[in-house]
Amino acid sequence: MRISIIGAGYVGLVSGVCLSEVGHHVVCVDQIPEKVESIRSGKSPIFEPGLEELLRRNLKARRFTATLDMARAVENTEVTMIAVPTPSRNGAIDLRYVEAAARQIGHVLRNKRGYHVVAVKSTVIPSTSDTVVKPILQQTARKALGEFGLCTNPEFLREGDAIKDFLRPDRVVIGSDDERSFRVFKKVYSPFRCPIVHTNLRTAELIKYTSNSLLALLISYSNEIASIAEAIGDIDIVDVTRGLHLDNRLMPFLKGSGSSSGERITPGILTYLKAGCGYGGSCLPKDVPALCAFAEKQGYKPHLLRDVIGINHRQPVRLMDRLHHELGGLRNKKVAVWGIAFKPDTDDVRDTPAKPIVDFLLKAGAKVSVYDPLGLEQARKTIFKDCHLTYSESPFKAAAGAHALVVVTAWPQFKKVDFRKLSDLMKKRAFVVDGRRLYKRQSVIQAGLQYIGVGYRGSREVA
């Protein structure tokens, strides 16, 4: 098929390159000339493992390109996907970019012959496609639904695993309120072998929010239990969650194997049932409040989801409160922070837990040095642009002379640490604050360091 995608950001570019990889001819449209030029030269403007290789391959094969010319892109394709940002404004969703894209597409469809399907791929609150996008398209195109098609096609991409998620999907969700739109649009996914969930427009939109809200719920649930464990004392949340995960309903035995064999399936969902310093990124911190705001607008108070948000906001601050108490204050203390990106394998620093952690430290008078394998430049230009920090070129340089080290992101290189070397570099009896529970307490303590971990508060342990 010939497909145009409006928006060459994370979702648009990954979707476009992957759809061209499976044989479609795709053109991505963006308004930023530098971004379009970068894409056309084979250089991805975003970091995602494997993306640049696929981009170059499909540019060379002439199955993929990028352009500033929306009218030409829509005119020469059969399907157009809207993949523009839907940022948060005071906790609610901001639809201005979706509305603008729909308006521009409609103007092109006014004079275009033939049936054309528009699909909303941006994450939008339920009823957006039928009460916002459809009226704009009908008004600007001067056509009724039926003369053009309309679908909702939410994405389920995890940063760092987006290529695999798109090329090997566990499901494809397509919402439509008429059969013809669905029949044409599902051809986009004909190369894939996975269940296609066909719903109406609103249901497809809610499936996306339901999926993200569940992930946020599991993380905040784990952190709530971790806080209870800390309050009781001499309980380690790592042991608690290990006992939880082994429930056969969460980690089932392989079919045909008895319980004595120990062969189990380890579902990916279990990675969200672990305590840490909170979730971040471009999706969960934006989508859960947006769903809450929309539900409240409909007259329903989503108490559970509001608590999920509150727990996540408090989690990094709770961790820093503990460090503040143990050090007897933070003024003029040097604190190293390992990890700025909200998760490994990305440079995305949006709503990262590192932001409230660093803000707390600076407000308390600490001297902060930070290190991240990929996220430093993004952080310097965005979340920390007005902060007085030291940006370090290696984790050990960041930790040198520090009274405490706070580990925020579970980068693989942080998991194996020479604690003896770290102890020699840091202040005597310095603290390691394990915000992702990467380390064994005794390994840290035996090196002459002190340990603070999410979900554990025991008696002071000394090597």
Nearest CA to 460 among 326, 312, 285? 326
In the chain, the N- to C-terminal Cα span, in Å, equals: 65
The pLDDT, as a whole number, for residue 453 is 97
Mean pLDDT, to the nearest integer, of 57-79? 98
Query: Percent of the chain beyond pLDDT 90?
Result: 95
16-31 average pLDDT score: 98
Q: Hey, where are the domains in the chain? A: 2-199, 276-453
pLDDT band of residue 463 (cuts 50, 70, 90) is very low
* 18 classed as catalytic: no
Q: What is the mean pLDDT of residues 248-252?
A: 93
Question: Which of 273, 302, 269 lies closest to 288, judged by CA?
Answer: 302
CA nearest neighbour of 418 among 436, 434, 395, 385: 395
pTM of the prediction?
0.94
Give me the catalytic one of 18, 28, 151, 283: 283
Residue with tokens 């005597």: 428
- Quick one: pLDDT at residue 257? 61
Same fold: 2-199 with 276-453? yes
- Torsion angle of C-alpha atoms 339, 341, 345, 347, degrees rounded to 10: -130
Percent of the chain beyond pLDDT 70?
98
Q: pLDDT band for 208, please (50, 70, 90 cuts).
A: very high
* Region class of 281: left (phi > 0), else alpha (psi between -120 and 50), else beta: left
The pLDDT, as a whole number, for residue 259 is 64
| Backbone region of residue 16 per phi and psi (left: phi > 0; alpha: psi in -120 to 50; beta: other values) | alpha
**CATH assignment of 276-453, given 3.60.10.10, 3.40.640.10, 3.40.50.720, 3.30.450.20?**
3.40.50.720
| Class of domain 2-199 (CATH, top level) | alpha beta
Residues facing 364 on adjacent strands: none
20-27: average pLDDT: 98
